[in-house]
Amino acid sequence: MRIAILGGTFDPIHNGHLAAARSVSSAFCTDEVHFVPAYSAPHKQSRESTSAFHRFAMVALAVLPFEGFRASAIEVDALEKRYTIDTLETMRSMYPGAQLVFVMGTDMYQDFDTWKDYRRLSTLAHLAIVHRPGFAFRTDLAPHLVLEDGEKATLPEKPAVFYLPFVEQPVSSTSLREDCRKGVDVREWLPAPVWSYIERTKLYS
């Protein structure tokens, strides 16, 4: 079994997240893609995020139409701040023998060497790095393989780092929240059920 894992605050989840997940799923021939909303993100402490309940609900709504996409409550159910290393170790025990592919953007990968137990984290899952505009891919952290658009990844026995420069997320959750507060119509960037949820609950008004 091969599982891709997308972690984040997902405040809110948007079409860029889903497009990246579809591209990664295709490139790595995954059986499942797990979206893991953080209860409280260790690397995003500068502001108060939307409650985990709302963020998980939006993720669940967004992934419902996609076969093999799952909303995971593994971090939300912990009711406390969790680090990626903890989540991957838990998933290792939940899915023994599975090949795990942890997905992150070039923005997060730039600071990867500051993450808790990042060297051990690199032994628990393959890393799939997708491009975020304005953030260059760091080539100095680890040996890596560059995948071309349409290429299928061949996973080595030991976890490796893959860079997918053709996968981009042109929009950010931060900009979507700000636009919502300004009254800008952002529905083109959001799955329809997520937009309806935000409208109904007035999350970012």
pLDDT tens figures, 113-133? 999 999 999 999 999 999 988
pLDDT tens figures, 6-32? 999 999 999 999 999 999 999 999 999
Confidence of residue 143 (pLDDT cuts 50, 70, 90): very high
146-172 mean pLDDT: 91
Please check whether residue 124 is in contact with residue 100, taking contact to mean a CB–CB distance below 8 angstroms.
Answer: yes
Please report the pLDDT score of residue 70 as a whole number: 98
Q: What percent of the chain has pLDDT over 70?
A: 96
- Among 40-44, 60-64, 82-86, 105-109, where is mean pLDDT lowest? 40-44
- Among 141-145, 155-159, 170-174, where is mean pLDDT lowest? 170-174
Please report the pLDDT score of residue 86 as a whole number: 94
DSSP bridge partners of 127: 102, 161
Mean pLDDT of the residues in the chain: 92
Task: Provide the CA 138 distance to its chain's centre, in angstroms.
Answer: 18
Residue 46 has pLDDT above 90, yes or no: no
Dist CA 82 CA 7 (whole Å): 11
pTM of the predicted model as reported, rounded to 2 decimal places: 0.93
Please check whether residue 37 is in contact with residue 63, taking contact to mean a CB–CB distance below 8 angstroms.
Answer: no
Q: Which CATH architecture has domain 2-170?
A: 3-Layer(aba) Sandwich (3.40)
34 or 49: which carries more pLDDT confidence? 34
Please report the pLDDT score of residue 40 as a whole number: 78
Please report the pLDDT score of residue 171 as a whole number: 83
Please report the pLDDT score of residue 80 as a whole number: 81
35-63 mean pLDDT: 83
Contacts with 21 (C-beta within 8 Å, 6 or more apart), sequence order: 4, 6, 33, 35, 66, 69, 103
